[in-house]
Amino acid sequence: MKFTIEKKLSGKLGRAGKIETPHGIINTPAFIVVGTKATVKAMTPEQVKDLGAQAVLANTYHLYLEPGEKIVKNGGGLHKFMNWSGPTFTDSGGFQAFSLGVAFGTTISKLSKPQSNSFDEREKKSESVRSEGMPPLAKITEDGVIFKSYRDGSEHFFSPEKSIEIQNSIGADIIFAFDECTSPTADKKYQKEAMDRTHRWATRSLARHRELQVESTKSKVGEKKSEQAIFGVVQGGRFEDLRKESAGVIGSMDFDGFGIGGSFDKEDIGTAVSWVNKELPEGKPRHLLGIGEPEDFFLAIENGCDTFDCVAPTRQARNGTLYTKQGKIHIDNAKYREYFAPIEADCMCYTCSHYTLAYIAYLARTKELLAHTLSSIHNLHFIVHLVEDIRQSILNETFDKFKNSFLEGYRKTEKN
């Protein structure tokens, strides 16, 4: 993997660049589309590519449970298995230590103090675990995390080494060191413990990754050498001193790039990532994990983040929430029953080019699966191209003007 900075944002940490991988170039800043189970829900890889996505991210924990990393490997690796020819990422499974652990059965997310509006309330309800009241499905130890499968209750163990071995088998271009994703409500004492453990796991993850690289060079003739890049993950919660300490420790290790974990206040995203990115090496890419709302991108990008992933665009689409330049709309609204125009007049996505909002609202009301596909195409197109436009504004030296113009329209009126 190679990272090149093409243009820096004057007076700030932001930059436009490119990440070169074995399966193509990612022009940054870039939104990485989430395909949790080697599929972007309700969409084909061709549709994902056609809307402009550069790369996809799959979930290590879910692919380990089903179909199993060996089947993915025997199927030709993630790219061939899911028929995606572009760059790919896999997370480490560390997020499941949080989602199946302290957050299980609650509405706690990686970000505290979410914005208060009707759409966030819908999302909080949709994200809550149906099994509320049941004991957690994950237990953290020094050696790793003990998971109980959400599918059948069987017990599984992820160590840093195991996570790296699974990711190596899956075969993504960029993988992540195993980390502990903490709750934003955790106190400083526990955040410190989890951060130190993440650092120890980072050392072990990196060591196993290097061992697998050496093993691949000794493999039998005809087998392809592993060309995976590995990113270390910075933690530390909402505490400035911990974030800086973690960035210093992880940044000093021989990682190819860096992930920045959540667990901080939503309105402080810009501040929190600037603490980290001022400490990390400038010449390596930085990925902000699990962030996908339009307002968040501007704060994160101007403070030095290069790539992002989040399930929000497709999840919100399936729940009937659509992005527009004038804020989000929800297709349950009665006025859209006879709205015989695109979701957004100047949108160039496949959905807006061929269908009216009235038709999509009808599909959603009658529980037709096509509603999920058409809504997901629009939302992903909106987010992918928003980040692409932010990149272009850096290159054109018009970032502040574009930021102010977009946010003024987006925040002006949110349709209910």
Domain of 291: which CATH number? 3.20.20.105
Cα(165)–Cα(171) distance, integer angstroms:
10
Residue 348 belongs to some domain of the structure? no
Amino acid at 165: E
Q: How many domains does the chain have?
A: 1
pLDDT tens-digit map of 153-212:
889 999 999 999 999 999 999 999 999 988 888 899 999 999 999 999 999 999 999 999
What is the pLDDT, as a whole number, of residue 277? 98
Cα(276)–Cα(233) distance, integer angstroms:
11
User: How many angstroms separate the Cα of 360 from the Cα of each of 335, 369, 374, 377?
Assistant: 13, 10, 7, 12
CA 369 to chain CA mean position, Å = 24
What is the pLDDT, as a whole number, of residue 129? 38
Buried b (16+ CB within 10 A) or exposed e, 70-82: eebbeeebbbebb
What is the pLDDT, as a whole number, of residue 271? 93
- Catalytic site positions: 91, 309
What is the pLDDT, as a whole number, of residue 127? 38
What is the pLDDT, as a whole number, of residue 415? 43
Residue 402 main-chain phi, psi, to 5 deg: -65, -45
Residue that the structure tokens 């979701």 belong to: 343
Cα(206)–Cα(213) distance, integer angstroms:
11
Cα(170)–Cα(68) distance, integer angstroms:
9
Residue 392 belongs to some domain of the structure? no
**Residue stretches of the chain with pLDDT short of 70:** 97-135, 217, 219-226, 413-416
Residue 341 belongs to some domain of the structure? no
Whether 259 and 289 have beta carbons less than 8 Å apart is answered as: yes
Cα(264)–Cα(109) distance, integer angstroms:
10
What is the pLDDT, as a whole number, of residue 116? 40
Residue 127 belongs to some domain of the structure? yes
Contacts of 157 (CB under 8 A, 6+ apart): 144, 145, 146, 147
Whether 68 and 74 have beta carbons less than 8 Å apart is answered as: no
What is the pLDDT, as a whole number, of residue 118? 43
What pTM was estimated for this model as a whole?
0.91
Cα–Cα–Cα angle for 393, 310, 229, rounded to 5 degrees:
85
What is the pLDDT, as a whole number, of residue 121? 44
Residue 47 belongs to some domain of the structure? yes
Continuous segment of H or E residues that includes residue 296: helix 294-302
What is the pLDDT, as a whole number, of residue 137? 80
Cα(123)–Cα(351) distance, integer angstroms:
23
Amino acid at 201: W
What is the pLDDT, as a whole number, of residue 377? 98
Nearest alpha-carbon partner for 236 in 201, 261, 259: 261
Residue 137 belongs to some domain of the structure? yes
Count CA atoms closer than 13 A to 302's CA, side-chain side.
19
Query: 320 is in which domain, residue-wise?
Result: 2-327
Residue 117 belongs to some domain of the structure? yes
CA 11 to chain CA mean position, Å = 27
What is the pLDDT, as a whole number, of residue 133? 53
Residue 90 belongs to some domain of the structure? yes
